Amino acid sequence: MATWNSRGLRGSTLEEFINHSNERYSEMGLALMQKIPTPITPVRMDKDHRQITLAYFDKASTVDYIGAVQGIPVCFDAKECNVDTFPLQNVHEHQMDFMEKFERQGGIAFFLIYYTARNELYYMQYTQIRKFWDRAQSGGRKSVRLEELDPEWFFQLKNGYFVPYLDLIQKDLETRD
């Protein structure tokens, strides 16, 4: 069983950047995105400091963020990767199922992958990750190599911390039928 103190801080840098970006987008009236907390059950508490020191995840969470951008439903998950190969074990079946249903309802679903060693972000449309996911499920490669990714979907942090993902959502909309 996964516990909070063994996995709780993975992705925290990217999530901090996204949370800050979401606040700015909200202040500007451009988007309303909410971080979805992962449901946990506390196991051990530090009563003196009123902190949870050990917990387990109650159930599988769906995605990290959900909301609306200019009236369009949007959901996405944030992942960090410190090498040039993104392991698909970081993506879970329940996330793929949720994103598929979300897209069927007319929403936009995607992953933001932060390649920390390169300090680059990648916007991976649901349809793209679906191809890699299906390949892995059929016994193929269980990771995504950097050279398999479309260079058009890489982007940089602005000012070292702002995640300008709205630009890529616009691009995503333009590529849809």
95 is in an annotated binding site: yes
Q: How many helices (H) and strands (E) does the chain have?
A: 5, 10
Q: What amino acid is encoded at 61 in this protein?
A: S
Give the tokens for residue 75.
Answer: 């959901």
Distance from C-alpha of 125 to C-alpha of 138, rounded to nearest angstrom: 20
62 is in an annotated binding site: yes
In the prediction, which pLDDT does 144 show? 97
In the prediction, which pLDDT does 53 show? 73
Splitting the chain (177 residues) into consecutive groups of 10 residues, what average pLDDT does each group show?
40 85 96 82 74 63 90 95 93 94 97 93 97 96 96 92 94 90
Residue 156 CB partners (closer than 8 Å, separation 6+): 119, 120, 121
175 is in an annotated binding site: no
Q: CATH: 3.40.1350.10, 3.90.1150.10, 3.40.190.10, 3.40.50.150. Which one for 4-175?
A: 3.40.1350.10
Give the tokens for residue 9.
Answer: 């801080």
Q: Which of 131, 175, 135, 177 is nearest to 152 (CA)?
A: 175
